[in-house]
Amino acid sequence: MGYQQIYQRYKQQILSGQLKPGEKVPAIRVLADDLGVAKKTVETAYNILCGEGYLVSRGALGTLVNPDLQLQQHQAERTAGLQDAELQHLVDLRDNAGYFRLGIPSLDEFPYKKWLLLSGKAIRAMRPEQMLLPPVMGLPALREAIASYVTISRGLNCTASQVCITSGYKHSIALILQSLLQPQDKVIYEEPGYFFGQKLLKRIAANLHYVPVDKEGLNVDYLLQHHQDARLVICSPSHHSPLAVTLSLPRRQKLLAWAQQHNSYLVEDDYDGEFHYTKKVLPAMKSQDQADRVIYLGTFSKTVMPSMRVSYLVLPKALVNSFHETAEIVETGQPLLPQQILSRFLSEGHFFKHLKKMRALYQLRRQMVLAAMQQVFPGLFQFELTDGGMHLVAFLRHGSADQQLAAIWQAQQLLVFPLSAWYATSQKRYGLVIGYTNIQSQQQAVELLQRVQVATEALLQQR
């Protein structure tokens, strides 16, 4: 191997992003020994890369990928973008820093010290056999802790054998469809519904249909009238995403009866069911599932942190073997260390303590954001408050300009979503979907909203 090949290899890795700005590259002697070439060969390649600005030499610190490439590389990635412009916009809103972001837990109140302590314990306790492939259904200790948690807090009656650990909502839905459905089986999704869920299902569910949601949740009569032959219904009965309504008890009973009668299954997405602000809390729909037709989907993205990527399914007993088999074929299991830390967080009682604190905090922060909205924009929005959740919907009293309005707010780093973007059909409601969990005071909320006060009033008063 000549110096030109080494030069081209490193240049390509830097431009493609495989080597990140600031990352250390091997010492000349180490790389020469590894490649079986002369030191002079590697030294020549490094000198050229340094001369062109791809690498920098920092003496005793070694040779690094030039940290100043960060801005250029980020811009190149942004320019490349995604082919789906709507998806690119959604990703930008999800990932960029700003205020009123959806689905982000209160990071300023997370118990970091406790988490670091548990992380250290988990690392020190790791054994050699745990360095092999992790179990595809999840760490047994975490599955036990989750089974205990959902039995106590959500009224489920399950065992650890029914729990399957996944890496998030999209992974969970894909695994359900792979394990349960034939290509032409009819899948029902809520209308409106979670936007990333829509994107996923449009790609992987060939026979996808929608059922509207009203003030009592999923319209089960519409389902029975138009889609009795459905194989799977995906819904969020505890706290609909995004309208925040709760599926009424009569509709739950009717939906469960339909699933039993037609040998169909229900996916209960309980994405933020932990956050309820009254004592009158309906248990999870699966707790009423006498026929075992509900697949319960839970996540720690909303209660702990999104970056950990740990979610879980609670499966009907009859489906455990088929899900296990599918997981063995298409998965290799989720990373073990986050599961070990999380299992300690649950089993030692820290999770329950954290949830109790967050419920009180989120209720307060919702009140602060609501009061700020009413102070800055009196009479422009209508609110239909429910008993919990992590966001509120500000419905437009007049007009349908929520897309334009959201663009105005987003330009000022207020990363709200237009409600109409959550609909797949032409029958829509209009407003802004606003997260409140990381707003720390009413004064902060007022100051943020004042950034867009004049433009908002000008737009909405034209309608």
Angle at 288 between CA 298 and CA 385, to 5 degrees: 60
CATH number at residue 360: 3.90.1150.10
Rounded alpha-carbon distances, angstroms, from residue 185 to 31, 263, 264, 327, 330: 55, 12, 10, 20, 21
Select the more confidently predicted residue: 140 or 132: 140
What pLDDT, on the 0 to 100 scale, is given for residue 283? Answer: 85
- Kindly state whether residues 430 and 357 are assigned to the same domain: yes
Question: Could you give the C-alpha distances from 140 to 7, 160, 306, 308, 340, in angstroms and in order?
Answer: 47, 7, 22, 18, 10
Cα–Cα distance measured from residue 166 to residue 333, given in angstroms and rounded to the nearest whole number: 8
Whether 398 is covered by a domain: the verdict is yes
Q: Is residue 443 part of a domain?
A: yes
pLDDT at 139: 96
Range of the domain at 365: 85-109+353-460
Beta strands at 232-235 and 265-269: parallel, antiparallel or unpaired: parallel
One domain, residues 116 and 98 = no
Q: Both 174 and 268 in a single domain?
A: yes
In the beta sheet, which residues pair with residue 232? 187, 265
Identify whether residues 123 and 267 lie together within a single domain. Answer: yes
Confirm whether 292 is domain-assigned. Answer: yes
The domain tally of the chain equals: 3
Q: Rounded to an integer, what is the distance from CA 248 to the centroid of its chain?
A: 26
Residue 7: its pLDDT value, please?
86
> Averaged over 432-452, what is the pLDDT?
95
pLDDT in tens, 247-268: 999 999 999 999 999 999 999 9
Same domain, 429 and 299: no
> Coil, strand or helix: which one is 417?
strand
Compute the average pLDDT of residues 183-203: 94
Residue 103 is classified by DSSP as S
* Residue where a domain stops, chosen among 348, 368, 401: 348
Tens of pLDDT, residue by residue over 200-257, are 999 999 999 999 999 999 999 999 999 999 999 999 999 999 999 999 999 999 999 9
**pLDDT for position 73:** 46
Q: Clarify whether residues 125 and 95 are in a common domain.
A: no
Closest CA to 312 of 134, 133, 139: 139
CA distance 434 to 395: 11
pLDDT for 395-419, tens place per residue?
A: 999 999 999 999 999 999 999 999 9
Residue 372: inside a domain: yes
Has residue 229 been placed in a domain? Answer: yes
Please tell me the predicted confidence (pLDDT) of residue 352.
Answer: 93
Co-location of 298 and 175 in the same domain: yes
Query: Over 80: is that where the pLDDT of 79 sits?
Result: no
Do the Cβ atoms of 159 and 207 come closer than 8 Å? Answer: no
Confidence of residue 57 (pLDDT cuts 50, 70, 90): confident
Among candidate residues 272, 318, 315, the one with its CA nearest the CA of residue 295: 315
Say if 261 falls within a structural domain: yes
Query: Is residue 283 a contact partner of residue 255, using CB atoms and an 8 Å limit?
Result: no
pLDDT tens digits, one per residue of 15-49: 877 888 889 999 999 898 888 899 999 998 888 88
Q: Is residue 77 part of a domain?
A: no
In a domain, 185, yes or no: yes
pLDDT, position 94? 80
Q: Where residue 179 sits, what CATH number does that domain have?
A: 3.40.640.10
**Around Cβ 185, how many Cβ atoms within 10 Å?**
16
293 and 237 fall within a common domain: yes
Q: Are residue 284 and residue 145 in the same domain, yes or no?
A: yes
The CA distances from residue 64 to 16, 49, 55, 440, in Å, are 16, 11, 6, 40
* Res 273 pLDDT > 90: no
Of residues 64 and 79, more confidence is placed in: 64
* Cα 463 from Cα 444, distance rounded (Å): 29
Does 284 share its domain with 183? Answer: yes
Does the pTM surpass 0.75? The reply is yes
Residues 56 and 44 occupy one common structural domain: yes
3-state secondary structure 209-265: EEEEEECCEECHHHHHHHCCCCCEEEECCCCCCCCCCCCCHHHHHHHHHHHHHCCCE
Please tell me whether residue 64 adopts helix, strand or coil conformation. Answer: strand
Token pair of 33 as six digits: 């020994």
Higher pLDDT, 85 or 102: 102
pLDDT of residue 17: 79
Given 348, 367, 393, the domain boundary residue is 348
Cis preceding-peptide flag for 283 (omega within 30 of 0): no
Q: What is the pLDDT of residue 148?
A: 95
Sheet-wide strand order for 311-314: 163-166, 311-314, 294-299, 265-269, 232-235, 186-191, 207-214, 217-218
pLDDT (tens digit per residue) in 338-394: 999 999 999 999 999 999 999 999 999 999 999 999 999 999 999 988 888 899 999
What is the spatial distance between Cα 339 and Cα 122, in angstroms, rounded to a whole number? 10
Q: In the predicted model, what is the mean pLDDT of the chain?
A: 91
Are 62 and 174 in the same domain? no
Q: Domain ends where: 291, 325, 348?
A: 348
Domain CATH code at residue 47: 1.10.10.10
